[in-house]
Amino acid sequence: MFRIGQRLPGIFVFDGMQLIRRVLWGLLFLLLVTGCERDYMFRGGMEGIAFSTDTVMFDTIFTSIGSVTRHFRVYNSYGSDMTIDGIRLAGGDGSPFKINVNGVSSPDVVDVPLRSGDSLFVFVEVTIDPEANADPSFVVTDSIMFYTKERIQSVKLVAYGQDVVLLRKSTIGTRRFTAEKPYLIYDWLVVDTASVLTIDPGAQLHFYKGASLVVSHEASLQVKGTKEKPVVFSGSRLEEWYADQAGQWGGIFLRPGSRNHEIDYAHIRNATIGLSVDTVGMDGTPPLKLSNTRIEHISKQGLVAQSSSIVAWNSLFADCGSASVALTLGGNYEFYHCTIANFFRWPYRGVPALLLSNYYVNEEDGEEDIVDLELALFSNCIIYGVNDNEVGLDFKHRVKSGNDSEETQVNYLFDHSLIKTTLDPAVLSNSKHFKEVILNESPLFIRPGDYNYQLDTLSMALDHGNLESARLYPKDYHGNLRIDAAILPDLGFVERVEEQ
């Protein structure tokens, strides 16, 4: 006989409670081990992954060899752990940027685990030597590409490779820009209400993609370039290939109510719109004075104005995807010794080089709003290009009703100018609008394909100018005298001077 629980020699006695405890401990251990092992099989959905920023900006100015590090975070907002298939530097080993992902320094990191609701750090370093750097651009760019099963996403990298004054999303008061350093504008530069921006001779303003200069209500733009030191407004890419590429930045916008603008010896190029003038100078304030200025390589209009007053002389408006000069919604305009040329090389241009109109269609009610064209004078000018018609006239007249005797003003005059047009001969024979005009003859520019708009020795535009207009502006764009006792002035913004 033996009692329960009594251990006899050589005989195993079953203990049920002990076995149960061992099984429970085993299950608990298995659960713990299983819980610590994550499979990361999920590769992301259509929503992609989230970032703390879409652009990493290195806004430190590099005056010598510079190395700067920035970072951003990548988030997994899904309810499952995931694996990012790849994180790659688009520029690869040749990029000035370097990346480090969770301690792994490589331009190409694959199979990166990321827990649900967690994030990881991506560190970015850039090293630029402005003197040794073969790329002369102000802006050095690259991207980090993120690959998941359903999407490819990117974070932009932007650094500045030269010594510049950086202005990003800036609103400024009265200020003077000098030629000491170039200015790099990113996003926008706004001249605040009632402020004055004065730009000294030789200053350079470079605009990153899409950036613009906006002059606000009652503010003023004073551009003080000279023949030897013009003021340059252009894109941020300085490589030779970009020199004549249009649409690299937004443009210059003189907003309604801005005033007292003077632009002398400016080069405005490579923009989407060169110079936009909206309701300026028609309320008793001085007109915009635009002199000795070149507006070229623009993807839309070179100069577009509406309901404004402008006096322009010795200026070139050339090579635009739309009109080189568009004067719309009425106004008062005087152009003396200007060349309006359009040899734009890309897709067909359906708009003439010069467009005049006095109305616009109100989008809300579809009605035509008509504004008087008080004056559009072109004296000693050249309007020419590759299209058959380079002068567009688009005018509307008010419909009289009852005792309404108000006449629509449509006053324009081409005086001693050379124009290319298919306008009706009856229109062209009206001396009120066309006086001493050379029709459909080539001005014989020396090399318009290379943007040289000086006149050949056989050009009919030589010695055809109005002497009175030349006396108002006796020197041409290059500072040469137009007035000679023996001959009349030439047409256009430059006088031909024979070599001695």
Give the ranges where 185-338 is alpha helix by DSSP (H).
none
Query: Which residue's structure tokens are 């149960």?
Result: 20
* Largest CA-CA distance found in the chain, in angstroms, rounded: 150
- Dihedral sign from CA coordinates of 306, 338, 475, 296: positive
CB 121 within 8 A of CB 102: yes
Q: What are phi and psi of 491, to 5 degrees?
A: -90, 155
Beta bridge partners, 473, equal none
CB 467 within 8 A of CB 488: yes
CA distance 258 to 448: 35
d(CA 119, CA 53): 13
Determine the pLDDT at residue 340: 98
Is 29 in a helix, a strand, or coil? helix
Per-residue pLDDT of the chain (500 residues; tens, 9 = 90+): 434 444 444 444 445 566 566 655 555 555 444 444 566 778 878 888 999 999 998 765 444 445 678 899 999 988 899 999 999 999 998 898 999 998 899 999 999 999 989 999 999 998 776 555 555 566 788 999 999 988 999 999 988 767 788 898 999 999 999 999 899 898 999 999 999 999 999 999 999 889 999 999 999 999 999 999 999 999 988 778 889 999 999 999 999 999 999 999 999 999 999 999 999 999 889 999 999 999 999 999 999 999 999 999 999 999 999 999 999 999 999 999 999 999 987 667 889 999 999 998 887 787 888 999 999 999 999 999 999 999 999 999 887 665 555 788 999 999 999 999 999 999 999 999 999 999 999 999 999 989 999 999 999 999 999 999 999 999 999 999 998 766 899 999 999 988 75
Structure tokens at 443: 């001005």
Q: Phi, psi (5° rounding) for residue 240? A: -60, -35
Residue 199's φ and ψ, nearest 5 degrees, are -120, 120
d(CA 66, CA 91) in angstroms, rounded, equals: 19
CB 42 within 8 A of CB 80: yes
pLDDT value at position 419?
A: 98
**Going by C-beta distance under 8 Å and a sequence separation of 6 or more, which residues neighbour residue 438?**
417, 418, 419, 460, 461, 464
**Euclidean distance between CA atoms 437 and 390, whole angstroms:** 14
Query: Is 439 exposed, middle or buried, given 0-12, 13-18 or 19+ CB atoms closer than 10 A?
Result: middle
Tokens 């609103």, residue located? 171
Q: Contact, 58 vs 159, CB < 8 A?
A: yes
Q: What stretch of H or E contains 33?
A: helix 16-36
- Helix runs in 73-152, H state only: none
Query: Coil, strand or helix: which one is 444?
Result: coil
pLDDT at 268: 98
Q: CA gyration radius for the chain?
A: 34
**8-state DSSP, 472:** H
Residue 64 has a pLDDT of 43
The CATH label, of 2.60.420, 2.160.20, 3.40.50, 1.10.3470, for the domain at 165-397+405-472 is: 2.160.20
Domains 50-160 and 165-397+405-472 belong to one CATH topology: no
Residue 450 phi, psi (nearest 5): -105, 15
Name 428's bridge partners: none
Q: Is the dihedral of CA 87, 92, 97, 98 positive or negative?
A: positive
d(C-alpha 417, C-alpha 337), whole Å:
9
pLDDT of res. 400: 66
In 3D, which of 211, 181, 215, 184 has the Cα closest to residue 198? 215
Domain boundaries, the chain: 50-160, 165-397+405-472
Q: Which residues of 193-217 are buried (b: 16+ CB within 10 A; e: fewer)?
A: eebebbbbbbbbbbbbeebbbbbbe
| C-alpha angle 351-355-360 in degrees, rounded to nearest 5 | 100
Q: Please list, in sequence order, all residues whose beta carbon lies within 8 angstroms of the beta carbon of residue 54, skipping any fewer than 6 positions away.
A: 155, 156
pLDDT at 34: 46
Q: Which residue has the tokens 């430190």?
A: 60
Superfamily of domain 50-160: Immunoglobulins (2.60.40.10)
Strand partners, 71: 123
